[in-house]
């Protein structure tokens, strides 16, 4: 958990990179043969969620940079983990 905290907490640029990766995957697959018959909405939803998290971390960084107890992460991280896994699993296994 400390590893994830060191990468994502109060580092909105790192979070934005993850959002860009999900959105790039969505755009890349949307216009290729591989993604033609797959449901790609899950990648788009995960991308939006990561983008919102990046905006949230930027807001926290600007408003309260000294915040050392982040209860909000108890909700945000599990939601992001579930959405990210859902996006990757649905990309691999779902068709049509």
How far, in Å, CA of 53 to CA of 80, rounded? Answer: 9
How far, in Å, CA of 80 to CA of 92, rounded? Answer: 18
Nearest of 47, 59, 60 to residue 88 by alpha carbon: 47
**Segment 42-51, tens digit of pLDDT:** 999 999 999 9
Name the H helices within 1-96: 2-8, 12-30, 41-63, 73-93
Tokens representing 42 are: 């899950």
Does pLDDT of 36 surpass 70? no
Please state the pTM of the whole predicted model.
0.89
How far, in Å, CA of 76 to CA of 45, rounded? Answer: 14
If you average pLDDT over residues 18-46, what whole number do you get?
A: 87
| Choice between 32 and 59, residue whose per-residue pLDDT is larger | 59
């Amino acid at each position: 958990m400390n590893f994830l905290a060191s990468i994502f907490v109060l580092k909105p640029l790192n979070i934005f990179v993850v959002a860009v990766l999900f959105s790039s995957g969505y755009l890349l697959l949307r216009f290729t043969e591989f993604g033609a018959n797959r449901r790609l909405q899950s990648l788009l939803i995960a991308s939006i969620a990561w983008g919102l998290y990046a905006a949230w971390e930027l807001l926290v960084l600007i408003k309260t940079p000294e915040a050392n107890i982040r209860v909000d992460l108890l909700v945000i991280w599990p939601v992001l983990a579930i959405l990210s896994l859902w996006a990757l699993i649905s990309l691999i296994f779902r068709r049509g």
